[in-house]
């Protein structure tokens, strides 16, 4: 099981980021990640080593999330806390502007319809290939491409409206 521990170490942050975008809540995201890795561990004997572990674990997590939504699991949003600024070489005003822009992008992504939001997150934030996204979401590659294109256009439109 050393192999599984390696995968866990390498991908837990990536999986958490996607979970956070799904749940919009740190605690729920951590619970979702934990449940996904527990299920992956239980079925690790079914994982094919020559395939993409990240796609496999994200598919597991997505299925858990969808199942929880279907069970009407209430996901409560908790307000974000401001993070301390670490770098001293950039002035506070620049950092605040960067944070505001980042929050605007995150908010705009959250406002996208779920079908578009999911592919935008998986491609543009997680860096997954169209093929891997198609496997995770169980949709054709062409549909991934069209949803990504439309999602990016909607995102651009919303961000331009804010300015």
Biggest alpha carbon–alpha carbon distance for the chain: 51
At 101 the pLDDT is 76
Segments of the chain with pLDDT less than 50? 73-92
Q: Do 2-70 and 92-162 share a fold? A: no
User: Up-side HSE of residue 76: CA atoms within 13 Å toward CB?
Assistant: 2
User: Up-side HSE of residue 47: CA atoms within 13 Å toward CB?
Assistant: 21
At 46 the pLDDT is 84
Q: Could you tell me the residue ranges of all domains in the chain?
A: 2-70, 92-162
At 95 the pLDDT is 54
d(CA 4, CA 47): 10
What CATH number matches the domain at 92-162, 1.10.10.10, 3.40.350.10, 3.40.50.970, 3.40.50.2000? 1.10.10.10
At 98 the pLDDT is 63
At 151 the pLDDT is 94
pTM over 0.85: no
User: Is the four-CA dihedral 6, 60, 148, 156 of positive or negative sign?
Assistant: negative
CATH number of the structural domain 2-70: 1.10.1740.10
Q: What residues contact 20, with CB distance under 8 A and at least 6 apart?
A: 26, 29
């Amino acid at each position: 099981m050393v192999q599984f521990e390696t995968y866990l170490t390498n991908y837990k942050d990536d999986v958490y980021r996607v979970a956070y975008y799904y749940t919009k809540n740190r605690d729920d995201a951590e619970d979702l990640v934990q449940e996904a890795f527990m299920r992956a561990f239980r079925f690790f004997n079914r994982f094919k080593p020559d395939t993409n572990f990240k796609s496999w674990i994200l598919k597991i997590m997505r299925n858990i999330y969808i199942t929880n939504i279907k069970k009407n699991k209430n996901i409560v949003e908790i307000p974000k806390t401001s993070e301390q600024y670490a770098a001293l070489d950039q002035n506070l005003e620049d950092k605040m502007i960067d944070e505001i822009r980042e929050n605007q992008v995150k908010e705009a992504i959250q406002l996208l319809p779920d079908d578009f939001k999911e592919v935008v997150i998986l491609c543009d934030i997680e860096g997954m290939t169209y093929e891997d996204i198609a496997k995770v979401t169980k949709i054709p590659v062409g549909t991934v491409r069209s949803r990504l294109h439309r999602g990016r256009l909607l995102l651009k439109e919303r961000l331009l409206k804010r300015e």
